[in-house]
Amino acid sequence: MAEDLSADDVLEPSPSWTVLMGRGLRKRCPRCGARGLYRGWFHMLERCPACGFKFEREPGFFVGAYLINFAIVEGLLFVLVMAFVVVLANDSRAGIVVPLVIGAVLAVAAPLAFYPYSRTIWSAIDLAATPLELAEIVEAREAVTGEGKGDSKGEGDRGR
């Protein structure tokens, strides 16, 4: 329980912004850098298996991840449109079918491809902006050690 916590657990400095973003870009836990946060491409664990960090810190938390995913897709589509403008400037008879097909494929495939990355990147951004509170640190420790309220109700293995 909380007695197992040391002052270092609470007072250790947060990782730098670049470390957090690097972890997010590599689909790792923003708090400790652990791997294995996903059971599949689309199913993120509730907590980090190594440090117990709860990814969805409040209801609606991952709306920011969807915004990141949207921004990535919009950026890719913008590059496609600008490439088409360059092609059109050099050849006024260039067809629009190929860019439309490429755009449609990007609009569907890119969000699927970047989905897990957008979630870990958003978790890293949130952790950088809102460091963990003491209650969250205690809860994370209890989740990893299996101690606390969950075991007394027989819920300690929930989600495993």
pLDDT tens digits, 68-105: 999 999 999 999 999 999 999 999 888 999 999 999 99
Domain count, the chain: 1
pLDDT score of 6 more than 90: no
Domain that holds residue 104: 2-152
Residue 158 is assigned to a structural domain of this protein:
no
Dihedral angle, C-alpha 59, 64, 66, 72, nearest 10 °: -170
pLDDT tens digits, 20-78: 999 999 999 999 999 999 999 999 999 999 999 999 988 888 899 999 999 999 999 99
Residue 50 is assigned to a structural domain of this protein:
yes
Separation of alpha carbons 5 and 142, rounded Å: 10
Residue 157 is assigned to a structural domain of this protein:
no
